[in-house]
């Protein structure tokens, strides 16, 4: 009964494709977020308590050791970590580089939120979600503001 409303027979293809771009990026981001969280946590744990083990990672990330296991295997395939059965997990050069970038970006986002007057706790919480979606341009804008504060 109710017929679809269409502006023309030839459906518009350009404008919608452009509008979809931000959604696509947002989704694609999700695939690397986990990797970033893991390498950052591994880098932390390698400093203290001295090495990254499966259970320690699981506690830090709030998941079971099974999830950690599978994800670490994937990160190894992707070339970010080295891991052998029943041993500690180490970052590769690529992993260390990624971790450093993430750490810097995370700290910038937290500092920026703190500058806005957000409490330490909320800033940490929000940053964890936000940091993965901040473009270089926006990160630069954050840093600019923090410098001239």
Residues forming contacts to a second copy in the complex (CB under 8 A) are: 1-2, 4-7, 11, 13, 16-17, 19-26, 29-30, 33, 37, 49-51, 53, 55-56, 59-63, 87-88, 113, 116-119, 122, 124-130, 132-135, 137-138, 141-142, 145
Residue 60 sits in the site that holds DNA (CB under 7 A) = no
Residue 6 sits in the site that holds DNA (CB under 7 A) = yes
At its nearest, how many Å lie between a second copy and the CB of residue 145? 7
Residue 2 sits in the site that holds DNA (CB under 7 A) = yes
Which one among 46, 83, 114, 118 touches DNA, defined by CB under 7 A? 83
Beta carbons within 8 Å of 82's beta carbon, 6+ residues apart: 76, 89, 90, 91, 92
- Residues 126-145, interacting with DNA (CB under 7 A): none
Please report where in the chains the tokens 């804008």 appear, as a residue: 141
CB burial of residue 18 (10 Å; 0-12, 13-18, 19+): exposed
CA distance 29 to 12: 27
The two tokens of residue 32 are 């690397």
Cis bond before residue 49 (omega within 30° of 0)? yes
Select the span of 31-39, 100-108, 120-128, 135-143 touching DNA (CB under 7 A): 31-39
Which lies closer to a second copy via its Cβ, residue 55 or residue 73?
55
CB burial of residue 53 (10 Å; 0-12, 13-18, 19+): middle
Q: Find which of a second copy, DNA, none residue 13 binds, CB within 5 to 8 Å per kind.
A: a second copy
What residues pair up with 90 in beta bridges, in sequence order? 82
Per CB under 7 A, residues contacting DNA are 1-4, 6, 9-11, 27, 30-31, 33-35, 53-56, 61-67, 69-71, 74, 83-88
């Amino acid at each position: 009964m109710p017929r679809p409303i269409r502006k023309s027979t030839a459906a518009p293809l350009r404008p919608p494709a452009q509008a979809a771009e931000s959604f696509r990026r947002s989704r694609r981001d999700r695939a690397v977020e986990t990797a970033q969280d893991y390498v950052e946590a591994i880098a932390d744990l390698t400093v203290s308590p001295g090495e990254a083990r499966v259970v320690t990672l699981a506690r830090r990330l709030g998941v079971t050791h099974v999830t950690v296991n599978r994800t670490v295997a994937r990160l190894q395939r992707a070339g970010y970590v080295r891991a052998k059965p029943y041993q500690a997990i180490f970052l590769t050069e690529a992993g260390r580089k990624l971790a450093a970038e993430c750490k810097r970006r995370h700290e910038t986002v937290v500092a920026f939120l703190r500058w806005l007057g957000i409490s330490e706790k909320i800033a940490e919480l929000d940053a964890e979600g936000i940091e993965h979606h901040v473009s270089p341009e926006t990160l630069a804008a954050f840093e600019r503001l923090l410098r001239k504060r």
